Structure 1
Amino acid sequence: MLSIRKALPEDIGRIREIYSYYVENTAVSFEFETPSKSEMERRYCEISENYPYLVALSDGIVSGYAYAHSFIDRAAYKISAEVTIYVDKSSTGLGAGKMLYKELEKELESTDIRNLYALVTYPGWGSIEFHKKMGYRIKGIMDNCGIKNGRYYSVAYMEKIIKK
């Protein structure tokens, strides 16, 4: 059974494990090396201080996570947030991502956030279609803006307006 709750400091080890797969095996993350546990803890503390940071639980085990964070560090952008989501490779397609994003948006309803942005490796990895199903639209493509493992990757800027 799937459930969603706020991430806790004790979840960081499992969050790091999930993220590690994407860092080491895909271009979904543009990091080259998995951050240390202490770095992941630092990021968690910084993000969760001001934004929702959630985990999906499948039979009590963290199977995915999502959070909102600062879109661009300038005062005028305070009504916008970037969203990040990762689901364990063995749990994709089972509904955790959808539940995480729905709960994330619900938590953001009580804030000043109006616009959500996702930066998604383009094309591929299934994330583009997932985001479209969640109501995001491609607003632009940044061509060959990243390089990982000797290959260039483009990134789609995807947007969802949650408040008019």
Structure 2
Amino acid sequence: MNIKFRLAQLSDAEDLLNIYAPYVKNTDITYEYEVPSIDEFRRRMENVLSKFPYIVAIVDDKIAGYVYASTFRQRVAYNWGLETSIYIMEQFQGNHLGEKLYKILEAILQKQNITNLYASITYPNPQSIMFHTKMGYKKIAHFTKCGYKAGKWLDMIFMEKMINKHCIPARKIIYLPDMPKSEIDEILDMYSSKNR
């Protein structure tokens, strides 16, 4: 199995949307009701990539999943904390692809001087909670019946992970376009592999 990781490109939007769509239609993992249009999805990608990593996993030349970090809250003081999102095609789950995607994301975000990561998870969701716990996240909040989808009220939890020291003064955030491409490529290549 040949696994490669790279930054997402806007031309990937259709493939990534095809991965995301079943989560919208068939699960309560995302609270979105309708699958976004390709133009809206591309706009979301562009917004993330203007500041933060959006990583795709390619298995045997097929995009199998993706991960990205996005703004957690709009106020400036929150800038050092980001929310993570990860989606993987069902047939590629359970082979540590998610772990590699998260490790790549965190490695790049560390270099960007991000300090806190947050995962919002529909509760209960033992698989996601177990995955995030394994990745070093801790539950910090539980929201009761805060979402309504598919005819039921849903709880949501926040899990948090610290990935950098909280320096005073805070280190300046280095946005993705300002990072040396060689640094990003080195991290991506470190996790790519060929297994015969």
User: What TM-score, normalized to structure 2?
Assistant: 0.82
Q: 1:163 — aligned with what?
A: 164
Q: Find the structure with the greater CA-based Rg.
A: 2
CA distance in structure 1 between the aligned counterparts of 2:120 and 2:113, rounded to whole angstroms: 21
Q: Which runs of 5+ in 2 are unaligned?
A: 166-196
Q: 1:84 — aligned with what?
A: 85
CA shift at 1:35, angstroms?
Answer: 0.3
Instruction: Please give the secondary structure, in 2, of the residue aligned with 1:72.
Output: coil
1:94-139, Cα deviation, whole Å (9 max, x unpaired)? 1211111000001111112100000011112611111111111100
CA distance in structure 2 between the aligned counterparts of 1:150 and 1:125, rounded to whole angstroms: 21
Contact 1:4 1:99 in 2 (8 A): no
Higher share in helix = 2
CA shift at 1:33, angstroms?
Answer: 0.8
User: What TM-score, normalized to structure 1?
Assistant: 0.97
Q: Which runs of 5+ in 1 are unaligned?
A: none
CA distance in structure 2 between the aligned counterparts of 1:89 and 1:125, rounded to whole angstroms: 16
CA distance in structure 1 between the aligned counterparts of 2:143 and 2:34, rounded to whole angstroms: 23
CA distance in structure 1 between the aligned counterparts of 2:124 and 2:50, rounded to whole angstroms: 33
In the alignment of these two chains, the number of paired residues is 164
Higher share in strand = 1
CA distance in structure 2 between the aligned counterparts of 1:82 and 1:47, rounded to whole angstroms: 11
Q: 1:124 — aligned with what?
A: 125
Instruction: Please give the secondary structure, in 1, of the residue aligned with 2:69.
Output: strand
CA distance in structure 2 between the aligned counterparts of 1:98 and 1:138, rounded to whole angstroms: 18
Q: Which runs of at least 4 in structure 1 moved beyond 2 Å after TM superposition?
A: none
RMSD: 0.9
